[in-house]
Amino acid sequence: MTGRRLAELSGPAFANAIGPNSIVVLPTGAVEHHGPHLPLATDLIMAEALATLVVDAAAATGLDAWVLPALGYTKSDEHAWAPGTIWLSTDTLMAVLGDLGASLAAGGVRTLVFYNGHGGNTALLSVALRELRRLYGLRTFLVGVAVPSGDGTDGPDERGFGIHGGWGETSLLMHLRPELADPAAFTRAVPDRIADFERIGFAGKPVQFGWLSSDFAGGVIGDPTGSSAEAGARIAAGLVADGVAALEEVSRWPSTK
């Protein structure tokens, strides 16, 4: 049974399935270091699994949504120091995204949504939205997997720094692929030395900074202690609901073409 997975269709079936109201979702993940407790494919697993759940749930509401196989090798060179990380350069990834856009447009796709599970991709995907719009007339959108940090009540207090291998991400993996998480290796790695800076920080702060994951203990930024599959199931349910709501708005977005 193919469900809503475009790559499982035949060529003629693809041509018949894609119409002017079709929304095609491309998950983007990464293969990169996530500490000793999570697999290299953490971001890829999250992006592909959640995008598929979002598309299936959106289709159940009547939206004409489809999911493509995930793009796993992306912009991960902030983890280049760590064995197992596989990354593309900026130029290569932008070229790949351009080729994918050209291919999809040639196949009749009009609306493309990137469902992104890796923060290191965000800047380049944002640029690609405009490039693919300009070059191929695609309506393009970016939906990010917004995994919450622990706040001391729901999960440990990560002081807003649960961004890489922390409580939310680890809980989500324990829900999606419990056999791949190693609770024996859970270690708190919150960067307290920068947590009190009001302006400089990661996304959400007005001043961004260049960083490598080797700048932080073990390449982890967060606290996986206290992670659980139950918390991961709650996080996943919220992300799927948010994703369906996003696709519903995408379906109503006006276009000049």
Mean pLDDT of 238-252: 98
Q: What is the pLDDT of residue 1?
A: 42
Has residue 241 been placed in a domain?
yes
Instruction: Say if residue 128's pLDDT is above 80.
Output: yes
Task: Specify whether the CB–CB gap between 47 and 91 falls below 8 A.
Answer: no
Has residue 54 been placed in a domain?
yes
Instruction: Say if residue 26's pLDDT is above 60.
Output: yes
Q: Which range marks the domain in which residue 145 is found? A: 22-248
Instruction: Say if residue 11's pLDDT is above 70.
Output: yes
Domain total for the chain?
1
Tokens read off for 236:
């996943």
Q: What is the pTM of this model?
A: 0.96
Has residue 83 been placed in a domain?
yes
CATH code of residue 199: 3.40.50.10310
User: Which residue intervals of the chain are DSSP H helices?
Assistant: 11-17, 42-60, 90-106, 122-136, 167-176, 192-195, 229-252
Has residue 11 been placed in a domain?
no
Has residue 167 been placed in a domain?
yes
